[in-house]
Chain A
């Protein structure tokens, strides 16, 4: 089992968005202005391997690059650097037909239940278009196929001729899931898939994800800012801060024994149902702009334990226990 290559692996992935100086800015530089190209390191040399059947949670605050990484994993976005491997084979080097098959194997579930469905298509077309185009289902069987998918995600197939706006937020989320399932994927990237839903509806959709995992043996990369949701669903959790992973560990381990100060701060910051009249003791400072991240460890300006070394040297991810990786200089002293 452990010898098999991971289902989906991302090796040394970086994503940079560069805004180059135009002619005007270069002339301004000649006149004495000191302008530079704007480079955003959305994702900075990240390695991630997801094994078959696993649920990996990816947690981080806004601007940390988790959505960008998710889109790279799903194959929508090509990384500036690094390789994406499917069962050990680099996708970029595959022949076109094979690459397309992999593309269908990895599907994405989106955040916004309103923007993620084409408002001008009927539900049956939203769900049925891709399998028909790719020959997964024959023309005559399309109707039955769509009906079965809708039933699978908990929607009445009788409403397949309706348009998205005639559904509630939770039902739209289900349509989005049915659309992804229609091409028989093995791997789902869920990008904040329940963030826009009400609590009671969120619970329904989370349960649906768990059912689908049990029934279809799906593998998930589950991206969320909500630690509670990730904790509930994931086998392993990766914590991301300003484009880098700061800690990866099995879920139980990371919530019981957070190692990185940022993980600890996150865990201390989340409100919990069972914590009454607590005194909130927050971590200091703002999340820095990814345009101009602090040198060394990105977290050091907010870290209560920062040492001089954190200011100059970026810590690498190191194993501190079996399966538990953390990127913090403080671990070296122990």
Chain B
């Protein structure tokens, strides 16, 4: 025989639609998302939309150096945001710099996430001495400020895109590891994991199909914060002269480049790259902030 069929509650809304609706409840967050999309597009398509190639020395004219915004070049072109000391169009420089900054920030956060996720999951699922070891390292590392660790590493490694990414990954993996382990420990104790074990499912199946997907939401939030942090940290290190080489100018380097001209009132060489950097970080943080509120189970009733 069969038990009587119980009607299922009408699906009022899917989880995705609810997520979208809650996210859109904040106009600021939507603005941040739109801004971020534009910045990403500019960074990706910089070589096609920038007025000039700032790396191509043949396109530069030193006589055009340090022109204020909206000046005309010798060739009749308009420098919307002025030029730097080498006569480089600031607008183009910023577009290319954005590309470098985003590449370094997003790229290093991605690798840091992979390493941190593996370490955190291992610690949570294996436990014992391995967990103690991993978490001690994480604890120690997290009790020291990121900039200090990056500073030392760069002092040791030297300059270069790869070097700075290594430094950023080394700084950030611990945040991911701590987040993943924290969530995984909570999820691991839940009954659905016990149920999976009771059904004699394999260990890797339990970890990757049952445990991992449920650890992702807090990771997404941490990820936005850390991408913004990585971009800011890279800019700071480049500004201090320890980050990227002159041949690969990121936003931080552009700003540092303008520092010398600041006191003589030529503000635009530092100001506009700074605005671009600020806009990028603000947009990421706006999105991340709303994600944090929407995905936080403790604030949901």
What distance in Å separates the Cβ of A96 from its nearest Cβ neighbour in chain B? 11
Size category, A interface: 35 or more
Q: Mark A157-188, 1 if CB is under 8 A from B, else 0.
A: 01100110111101100101001100100000
Cβ contact of B192, chosen from A75, A116, A208, cutoff 8 A:
A116
- Bound Cα distance A57, B194 (Å): 22
- Bound Cα distance A176, B6 (Å): 15
Q: Does A104 make an interface contact (CB < 8 A)?
A: yes
Q: Does B20 make an interface contact (CB < 8 A)?
A: no
- Bound Cα distance A118, B197 (Å): 13
- Bound Cα distance A166, B7 (Å): 12
Decide if A208 touches B198 in the complex (CB within 8 Å). Answer: no
Q: A166-B9, A179-B199 are in contact. Are A117 and B192 (CB under 8 A)?
A: yes
Which of A146-154, A218-226, A234-242, A265-273 faces chain B? A146-154
Q: Considering residues B8, B9, B192, which has the most beta carbons from chain A within 10 angstroms of its beta carbon? A: B192
Q: Does B78 make an interface contact (CB < 8 A)?
A: no
Which of A106-114, A253-261, A304-312, A320-328 faces chain B? A106-114
Q: A75-B198, A104-B199, A165-B15 are in contact. Are A118 and B192 (CB under 8 A)?
A: yes
Q: A71-B194, A111-B191 are in contact. Are A154 and B201 (CB under 8 A)?
A: no
- Bound Cα distance A121, B5 (Å): 22
Minimum CB distance partner of B193 in chain A: A118
Q: Inside 8 A of B299's CB, which chain A residues have their CB?
A: none
Q: Does B3 make an interface contact (CB < 8 A)?
A: yes
Q: Does A54 make an interface contact (CB < 8 A)?
A: no
Q: How many A-B residue pairs have CB under 8 A?
A: 95
Cβ contact of A120, chosen from B1, B195, B196, B213, cutoff 8 A:
B213
Q: Inside 8 A of B190's CB, which chain A residues have their CB?
A: 112, 115-116
What distance in Å separates the Cβ of A152 from its nearest Cβ neighbour in chain B? 6
What distance in Å separates the Cβ of B78 from its nearest Cβ neighbour in chain A? 53
- Total count of chain B residues near the partner, CB < 8 A: 27
- Bound Cα distance A176, B195 (Å): 9
Decide if B199 touches A130 in the complex (CB within 8 Å). Answer: yes
What distance in Å separates the Cβ of B213 from its nearest Cβ neighbour in chain A? 4
Q: Mark B1-39, 1 if CB is under 8 A from A, else 0.
A: 111111111010001000000000000000000000000
Decide if B194 touches A154 in the complex (CB within 8 Å). Answer: no
Decide if A100 touches B195 in the complex (CB within 8 Å). Answer: no
Q: Inside 8 A of A71's CB, which chain B residues have their CB?
A: 194
Q: Inside 8 A of B163's CB, which chain A residues have their CB?
A: none
A93-144 at interface with B (beta carbon < 8 Å)? 100, 103-104, 107-108, 110-112, 115-121, 129-130, 133-134
Decide if B199 touches A154 in the complex (CB within 8 Å). Answer: no
Q: Inside 8 A of A116's CB, which chain B residues have their CB?
A: 190-192, 194-195
- Bound Cα distance A93, B2 (Å): 39
Cβ contact of B200, chosen from A100, A115, A117, A118, cutoff 8 A:
A100
Q: Mark B193-215, 1 if CB is under 8 A from A, else 0.
A: 01111111110010000100110
What distance in Å separates the Cβ of A145 from its nearest Cβ neighbour in chain B? 15
Q: A154-B3, A156-B7, A211-B1 are in contact. Are A108 and B194 (CB under 8 A)?
A: yes
Q: Mark B124-168, 1 if CB is under 8 A from A, else 0.
A: 000000000000000000000000000000000000000000000
Q: Inside 8 A of A103's CB, which chain B residues have their CB?
A: 198, 200
Decide if B11 touches A130 in the complex (CB within 8 Å). Answer: no
Decide if A110 touches B5 in the complex (CB within 8 Å). Answer: no
Q: Does A18 make an interface contact (CB < 8 A)?
A: no
Q: Inside 8 A of B15's CB, which chain A residues have their CB?
A: 163, 165
What distance in Å separates the Cβ of B6 from its nearest Cβ neighbour in chain A? 5
Q: Inside 8 A of A170's CB, which chain B residues have their CB?
A: 6
Q: A112-B191, A166-B11 are in contact. Are A107 and B5 (CB under 8 A)?
A: no
Q: A75-B198, A76-B197, A129-B201 are in contact. Are A115 and B5 (CB under 8 A)?
A: no
Q: Which 9 A-B pairs have the closest CB atoms?
A: A154-B3, A116-B191, A130-B199, A110-B191, A115-B190, A120-B213, A118-B192, A159-B8, A103-B200
What are 24 A-to-B residue pairs whose CB atoms are below 8 Å? A75-B198, A76-B198, A103-B198, A107-B199, A108-B195, A112-B191, A115-B192, A116-B191, A116-B192, A116-B195, A117-B192, A118-B196, A151-B2, A152-B2, A153-B3, A154-B5, A154-B6, A162-B8, A166-B11, A167-B8, A171-B6, A176-B195, A183-B199, A211-B1
B residues at A contact (CB < 8 Å): 1-9, 11, 15, 190-192, 194-202, 205, 210, 213-214
Known: A76-B194, A204-B6, A211-B1. 9 other contacts (CB 8 A): A104-B200, A115-B192, A116-B191, A118-B196, A118-B214, A151-B2, A162-B8, A167-B9, A171-B6
